[in-house]
Amino acid sequence: MPHKPKKPCRYPGCARLVEADESYCPEHKRLAAQQYERYGRPEENKKRYGYRWRKIRALFLAAHPLCEMCRKAGRLTEATEVHHILPLAHGGTNDEDNLMALCKACHSRISAESGDRWRNKKQRKEE
């Protein structure tokens, strides 16, 4: 059975060849994983947004297909995000009365205005 040809490592500037089913050479595999996790959610948030949350989110979006903010402004936009009115980190819950169906633009605007998403790590540790 023929083998697929090797390809270059995806790490910028690395020309080492790796197997077709790999992305990085052994030297850069660990580095790439560390860089990926650096921008991820904090560990406590990863636990909050597991299988149970994905199921709640899917059911909520099925029941509320339109963006609530756009509807108030007289526009009909498909909801793609579920927003916690009171964030889980501040004592909120996944109850339906704490959730809001939003489009991507409205959800990004609300998140940016609240400032929660872009707080620095020092402020997170103080809480």
In this predicted model, what pLDDT tens digit does every residue of 49-64 receive, in sequence order?
778 999 999 999 999 9
118 vs 127: CA distance, rounded Å:
15
pLDDT for residue 111: 86
The more confident residue out of 66 and 88 is 66
Per CATH, is 48-126 categorized as 3.40.50? Answer: no
Of the candidate ranges 7-21, 64-78, 110-124, the one whose mean pLDDT is the lowest = 110-124
**Range with the poorest average pLDDT among 38-42, 46-50, 104-108:** 38-42
Q: Which residue has the tokens 């964030």?
A: 87
Compute, in degrees rounded to 10, the torsion defined by CA atoms 39, 78, 72, 112. Answer: 10
Residue 80: pLDDT band with limits 50, 70, 90: very high
Higher local confidence (pLDDT), 43 or 31 = 31
The pTM assigned to this predicted structure is 0.61
Hey, which residues does 82 pair with through a beta bridge? Answer: 101
Give the residue range(s) of CATH 1.10.30 domains in the chain. 48-126
Instruction: Please give the pLDDT value at position 72.
Output: 95
Give the pairing of strands 81-84 and 17-18. unpaired
Tell me the mean pLDDT in the region 97-112. 94
CA dist., res. 117 & res. 79, Å (int): 20
Are 8 and 22 in contact, with CB atoms under 8 Å apart? Answer: no
